[in-house]
């Protein structure tokens, strides 16, 4: 009878696995910071039937929410054929089928406190007899992305909004359009900055930095094209992608030198606005990415400054500068497959730079740019020429007995390997790899999941290696970082099978190796622990106070790390999903970080006796039986905690999920 009950519960587990196990990651956690960024708004709108009057409600049941998240606002949120897509501000919908464009233009530059600012809603299509409404939101707490409603502008026939701001900071509009038939739509406009006259003159403030760069750009560049390129190049050369994924605001790339895509896109829009070049912010909900549209000579073009500035530094280029809808979908993959014009509400970009027909001329380029670069293949290696630099783009075969990349091809020196050059689909297998002296950059994920059966060495001329460059690759037992390398992205050897030792050449100013582990030169930051390094326990040097993202991903033997540094900090994903427990002092920054998660990695406080663990005994009665399965199922479905969650974590991986149910079944059936 007991076995029958277990089998019945096991069948339920299988059904549960299909619906739950793959829908949530193993961590299944949300930090307090994440909750602020992606939390559900106080009120969510529902799709409504068209109002019978221009003065009818835009949302069924009431007006706009009092508080919204500005984390994912853009020109107009994606709307697939009229379907409702949550946008963090209430559901956006459009019943104006013929609309072709709708976006907000900020007319004043700069926007100063106690000075009237003007904004214009641009809309095309529909029946043309529009009335407009706007709700103004203000970001009172600069540490978050929450915006609070402060003024409702009632419906009017004028597309122009004027307002005098009495406080500096970031604002945004929630905008509505309704036509004479009652057809309607709504969207969240991009965020904009209101500043003081003093800050506008201070280059250490965002407004002042923008004004300073605008002055430099106007002096160095003539015409809209040259200005768009000058600002693009300033960002790619002076900022780096934020690998902590925490800096969203323009301050990041403008003042701190680091930011995520939102920071790049918002800063680029501010910079172009300051030099008089029309620029929009666009975002992809599905791709979790943001970039810009730029208008030159009457045509709109895509510009993705973030993707022209590869992670880890180096290889800055113009591949995503002034390109068409078709081109960005072709080279940008799923991240750029759809954006917030899928219902036609932002302008189409039919041409890449220089492709517009004579009837729609574009300004002559004033500086070299290569939006549609030439590519060719030589000895199974695909090359691409970007801004005069020859780069490796991939290979045309999934197996090459000896991959040889020469120092020069057709008289051109090979400068770098592009991001994801040899990434899977399918998995690439090389007997050995020979990289040339003269190579300067290895892009993010360049050798991801590649199988190298023999030797591979990083040349002594390489200066930068991108994030996850060798992630999941099969590598020799030892890899050496040359003295020339000064910039390395996170997780460069994460989950690299076969790798047991990382060395750093003497004289490297930025990095150091100890016990085969990669550290910063001052030994304060652990960057990468080799996946196949021997030993189940590792004591961190006392100087280490930070564990980098993905630093322990894929380890096969390590079970615990030990640190007695009271300042120990790090990224949650340094050890999440790895099964590695951290043994450290109470209330270190890392310990506090783990406490913010629902199902964190294991943190054992040194000197404190942990509760006895009987794996599988979720109800804490001293035995493992089918009742423990019931407890775990209840937790997965409804969130009701088991009496002993540590015991419920029967498979040893972070979080309690269907994997733990399977482990409990194994314990019961096999009595182990």
Determine the Cα–Cα distance for residues 292 and 307; give it in Å rounded to an integer. Answer: 12
Determine the Cα–Cα distance for residues 143 and 166; give it in Å rounded to an integer. Answer: 20
Q: Which of 501, 508, 545, 539 is nearest to 523 (CA)?
A: 545
Tell me which DSSP letter residue 497 carries. B
Highest mean pLDDT among 85-99, 167-181, 229-243, 326-340: 229-243
Confidence (pLDDT) at 305: 95
Helix (H) or strand (E) run with residue 547 in it: strand 546-547
Pairing relationship of beta strands 85-86 and 91-92 according to DSSP bridges: antiparallel
- 3 state SS of 573: helix
Which architecture, in CATH terms, is 33-194?
Sandwich (2.60)
Do 32 and 39 contact (CB within 8 A), yes or no? Answer: no
Query: Which residue carries 């009237």 as its tokens?
Result: 116
Determine the Cα–Cα distance for residues 217 and 201; give it in Å rounded to an integer. Answer: 16
Determine the Cα–Cα distance for residues 515 and 521; give it in Å rounded to an integer. Answer: 14
Do 403 and 381 contact (CB within 8 A), yes or no? Answer: yes
Give 390's pLDDT tier (boundaries 50, 70, 90). confident
Do 154 and 178 contact (CB within 8 A), yes or no? Answer: no
Average pLDDT, the chain: 79
CATH no. of 2-29+613-670: 1.10.1330
Residue 480 CA from chain centroid, whole number: 29
Largest CA distance in the chain: 85
Which architecture, in CATH terms, is 197-336?
Roll (3.10)
Confidence (pLDDT) at 126: 67
β-pair partners for 391:
384, 416
- 3 state SS of 546: strand
**Residue 506 pLDDT > 80:** yes
Q: Name the least confident of 465-469, 627-631, 639-643.
A: 639-643
Determine the Cα–Cα distance for residues 77 and 515; give it in Å rounded to an integer. Answer: 50
Determine the Cα–Cα distance for residues 53 and 182; give it in Å rounded to an integer. Answer: 5
pLDDT, mean of residues 544-572 = 95
Residue 264 C-beta-side C-alpha neighbours within 13 Å: 31
Highest mean pLDDT among 139-153, 569-583, 625-639, 648-662: 569-583
CB atoms within 10 A of CB 316: 18
> Of 669 and 271, which is predicted with more confidence?
271
Confidence (pLDDT) at 529: 98
Determine the Cα–Cα distance for residues 581 and 578; give it in Å rounded to an integer. Answer: 9
Confidence (pLDDT) at 99: 55
Residue 219: CB partners within 8 Å, gap ≥ 6? none
> Of 4 and 521, which is predicted with more confidence?
521
Q: Which two tokens stand for residue 438?
A: 């003269």
pLDDT, mean of residues 266-286 = 88
> Of 375 and 368, which is predicted with more confidence?
375
Give 48's pLDDT tier (boundaries 50, 70, 90). very low
> Of 227 and 370, which is predicted with more confidence?
227
Q: Which of 424, 416, 411, 352 is nearest to 383 (CA)?
A: 416
What would the pLDDT profile of 119-141 be if each residue is shown by its tens digit?
Answer: 988 877 667 778 888 889 898 77
Query: Which residue carries 């190796």 as its tokens?
Result: 513
Give 18's pLDDT tier (boundaries 50, 70, 90). very low
Determine the Cα–Cα distance for residues 329 and 327; give it in Å rounded to an integer. Answer: 5
Please give the full DSSP string across 255-266, using - where no structure is assigned.
Answer: IISEE-HHHHHH
What would the pLDDT profile of 284-317 be if each residue is shown by its tens digit?
Answer: 777 778 899 999 988 999 999 998 887 766 678 8
**What's the CATH fold of domain 373-462?**
3.80.10
Confidence (pLDDT) at 35: 29
Distances, alpha carbon 563 to alpha carbons 401, 547, 603, 635, in Å: 44, 11, 11, 33
Tell me which DSSP letter residue 17 carries. I
302 CB-contact burial (10 Å; exposed 0-12 / middle 13-18 / buried 19+): buried
Query: Which residue carries 């040194």 as its tokens?
Result: 606
Q: What percentage of the chain has pLDDT greater than the value 70?
A: 78
What would the pLDDT profile of 54-94 be if each residue is shown by its tens digit?
Answer: 333 433 334 566 666 655 444 333 222 332 233 333 333 33
Confidence (pLDDT) at 358: 56
What would the pLDDT profile of 154-201 be if each residue is shown by its tens digit?
Answer: 888 899 999 999 999 888 888 888 777 666 667 777 778 898 888 888
Q: Which of 622, 625, 605 is nearest to 613 (CA)?
A: 622
β-pair partners for 188:
174
Confidence (pLDDT) at 530: 97
Domain with CATH 1.10.1330 in the chain: 2-29+613-670
């Amino acid at each position: 009878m007991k076995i029958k009950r277990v089998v019945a519960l096991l069948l339920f587990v299988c059904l549960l696995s299909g619906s739950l196990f793959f829908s949530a990651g193993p961590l299944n956690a949300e930090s307090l910071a994440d909750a602020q960024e992606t939390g559900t708004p106080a009120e969510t709108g529902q799709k409504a039937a068209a109002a019978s009057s221009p003065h009818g409600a835009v949302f069924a049941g009431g007006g706009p929410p009092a508080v919204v998240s500005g984390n994912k606002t853009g020109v107009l949120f994606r709307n697939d054929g009229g379907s409702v897509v949550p946008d963090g501000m209430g559901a956006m919908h459009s019943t104006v089928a013929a609309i072709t464009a709708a976006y907000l233009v900020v007319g004043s530059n700069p926007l100063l406190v106690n000075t009237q600012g003007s904004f214009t809603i641009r809309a095309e299509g529909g029946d043309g007899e529009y009335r407009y409404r706007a709700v103004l939101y203000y970001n009172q707490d600069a540490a978050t992305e929450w915006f609070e409603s402060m003024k409702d502008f009632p419906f009017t026939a004028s597309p122009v909004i004027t307002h005098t701001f009495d406080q500096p900071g970031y604002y945004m509009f929630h905008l509505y359009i309704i036509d004479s038939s009652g057809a309607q739509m709504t969207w969240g406009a991009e965020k904009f900055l209101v500043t003081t006259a003093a800050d506008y003159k201070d280059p250490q403030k965002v407004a002042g930095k923008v004004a300073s760069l605008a002055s430099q750009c106007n002096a160095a560049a003539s015409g809209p094209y040259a200005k768009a390129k000058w600002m693009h190049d300033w960002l790619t050369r002076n900022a780096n992608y934020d690998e902590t994924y925490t800096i969203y605001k323009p301050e990041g790339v403008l003042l701190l030198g680091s930011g995520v895509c939102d920071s790049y896109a918002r800063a680029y829009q501010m910079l172009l606005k300051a030099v008089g070049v029309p620029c929009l912010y666009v975002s992809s909900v599905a791709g979790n990415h943001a970039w810009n549209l730029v208008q030159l000579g009457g045509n709109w073009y895509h510009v993705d400054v973030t993707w022209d500035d590869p992670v880890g530094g180096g290889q800055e280029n113009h591949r995503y500068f002034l390109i068409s809808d078709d081109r960005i979908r072709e080279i940008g993959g799923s991240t750029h497959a759809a954006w917030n014009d899928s219902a036609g509400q932002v302008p189409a970009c039919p041409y890449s730079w220089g492709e517009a027909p004579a009837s729609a001329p574009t300004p002559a380029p004033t500086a070299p740019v290569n939006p549609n670069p030439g590519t060719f293949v030589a000895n199974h290696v695909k090359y691409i020429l970007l801004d005069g630099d020859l780069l490796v783009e991939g290979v045309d075969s999934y197996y090459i007995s000896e991959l040889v990349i020469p120092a020069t091809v057709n008289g051109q020196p090979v400068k770098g390997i592009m991001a994801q050059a040899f990434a899977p689909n399918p998995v690439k297998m090389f007997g050995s790899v020979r990289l040339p002296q003269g190579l300067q950059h290895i892009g993010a994920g360049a050798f991801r999941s590649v199988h190298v059966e023999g030797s591979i060495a990083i040349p002594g001329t390489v200066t930068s290696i991108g994030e996850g460059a060798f992630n999941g690759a099969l590598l020799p037992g030892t890899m050496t970082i040359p003295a020339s390398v000064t910039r390395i992205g996170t997780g460069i050897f994460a989950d690299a099978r076969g790798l047991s030792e990382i060395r750093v050449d003497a004289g490297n100013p930025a990095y150091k190796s100890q016990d085969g582990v990669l550290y910063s030169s001052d030994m304060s930051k652990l960057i990468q622990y080799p996946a196949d390094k021997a030993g189940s326990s590792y004591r961190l040097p006392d100087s280490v106070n930070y564990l980098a993202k993905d630093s322990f991903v894929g380890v096969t033997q390590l079970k615990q790390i030990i640190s007695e540094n009271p300042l120990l900090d790090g990224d949650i994903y340094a050890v999440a999903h790895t099964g590695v427990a951290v043994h450290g002092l109470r209330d270190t920054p890392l310990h506090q970080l783990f406490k913010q998660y629902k199902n964190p990695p294991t943190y054992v406080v040194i000197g404190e006796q942990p509760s006895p663990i009987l794996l599988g005994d979720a109800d804490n009665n001293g035995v493992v039986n089918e009742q423990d399965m019931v407890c775990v199922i209840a937790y997965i479905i409804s969130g009701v905690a088991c009496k002993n969650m540590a015991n419920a974590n029967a498979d040893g991986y972070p979080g309690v999920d269907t994997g733990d149910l399977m482990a409990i079944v194994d314990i019961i059936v096999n009595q182990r």
